[in-house]
Amino acid sequence: MSDAHWINVPPSRDGRDGFTPRGARVVAVVVVLAMGFGAGLLGGIVGSSSADRLGGSSPLVTAAPVEASEIGDTAVAAAWAAIAPSVVTIDSVGAEGESIGTGVIISSDGQIVTNEHVVAGAEEVRVRLNGATSAVAADVLATDAGNDLALLRLRNASGLTAARFADAASVAVGDPVVAVGYALNLDGGPSVTAGIVSALNRTLTDDNGALNGLIQTDAAISSGNSGGPLINLRGEVVGINTAVATGGISSTANNIGFAIGVAEVQRVLVILRASADGEARQQGYLGISLTGRGDGGSGAVVVEVEVDSPAEKAGLEVEDIILEINDQTITGQGALIGIVRDAAPGETISIVVERSGRRLVLSATLVARPDQG
């Protein structure tokens, strides 16, 4: 059994005495388990709400524009110049320490998207724009731990440059991409690293559920990159950097990083904005227990069907192999968990299963998760 690990990219630890990084959480990774490896994710570090210690009336200091003389003559340099005004440092302070992550401005009035694990448990959040010398206060508007995304807003902000999102359909394996973020909290501006899209629609699972719709990339991602953008050569955001793979004694993992894909980011942002406006959202529930396939095949195996659940009413049976949901291929149990969680109660989903060598198409109408009422 391999001892490779997957790590939610932690924010960088503050170097001052008395600050320690937050406790890591170990989580199962479906992609690795499906290949017979044992694996884990180590979770990230600070934040959840912000305090008023910074003084809410401080004016926002806008970032300096990128001068033409500072732009190189490569495609990567041009992509960096396009995204530069929209990349910020996030300084999260909580009971367990202080850490640095990255965020992306998504509205002119100061809305920022970052990873949930960057601001989980924070008592104070401070944001510094690229090119600025001082940080300003930010409030955490809403978080989604299951999808590892959070929505922040700078106080008293206006006239900021929002990042552009790429068309999700335009992202393909082999495309060149650039990861941007405050890697290791090094002095100066963000780090810029180049690579390609190595794979699409990866899935990782943790204690909060599953991260699905992930982009795998070989662009270098380090601590402090959490919440930063993965961009194409037009400077458009194709994903939000969130995790990396690390090797162990009996395995290697080189240049394997993950970003939450732009389609997932945009979908979750709609939910986060609604949550910030006070709208409660319930997750979908199917009523089955799953395991991975042990024969090398793709899909998730049903091991239990709850009585009177949407799954039972749809005709799902123990030992069915679920291959697709709503035309999305199920490569393992994590992908199924993520799709069902992200669906709304009352939504009808199409399920393709393999049963005793036959392929069947079933329909199930989801209900709200019981623990959500």
118 shares a domain with 99: yes
Last residue of a domain, one of 281, 297, 320: 281
264 shares a domain with 199: yes
273 shares a domain with 298: no
185 shares a domain with 227: yes
Known catalytic residues are 117, 148, 226
227 shares a domain with 143: yes
Which of helix, strand or coil describes residue 136? strand
pLDDT digits (tens, 9 = 90+) for 343-358: 888 889 999 999 988 9
Distance CA 258, CA 6 (A): 10
Highest mean pLDDT among 8-12, 139-143, 183-187, 242-246: 139-143
pLDDT digits (tens, 9 = 90+) for 194-248: 999 999 988 887 666 678 889 999 999 888 889 999 999 999 999 999 988 776 6
Last residue of a domain, one of 232, 261, 281: 281
Distance CA 39, CA 2 (A): 8
311 shares a domain with 190: no
171 shares a domain with 126: yes
Q: Is the pLDDT of residue 280 over 50?
A: yes
**Residue that is written with structure tokens 């490779």 in the block:** 4
328 shares a domain with 216: no
Q: Tell me the pTM.
A: 0.73
Residue 1: per-residue pLDDT: 41
CATH number for position 339: 2.30.42.10
Six-digit token pair at 297? 């095949």
CATH number for position 30: 2.40.10.120
Distance CA 147, CA 360 (A): 30
Distance CA 72, CA 97 (A): 38
Domain range enclosing 60 = 1-281
Residue 370: per-residue pLDDT: 82
pLDDT digits (tens, 9 = 90+) for 128-158: 998 888 899 999 999 988 889 999 999 988 8
Number of domains in the chain: 2
Last residue of a domain, one of 230, 246, 281: 281
169 shares a domain with 66: yes
Question: Rounded mean pLDDT of 306-327?
Answer: 92
Residue 176: per-residue pLDDT: 96
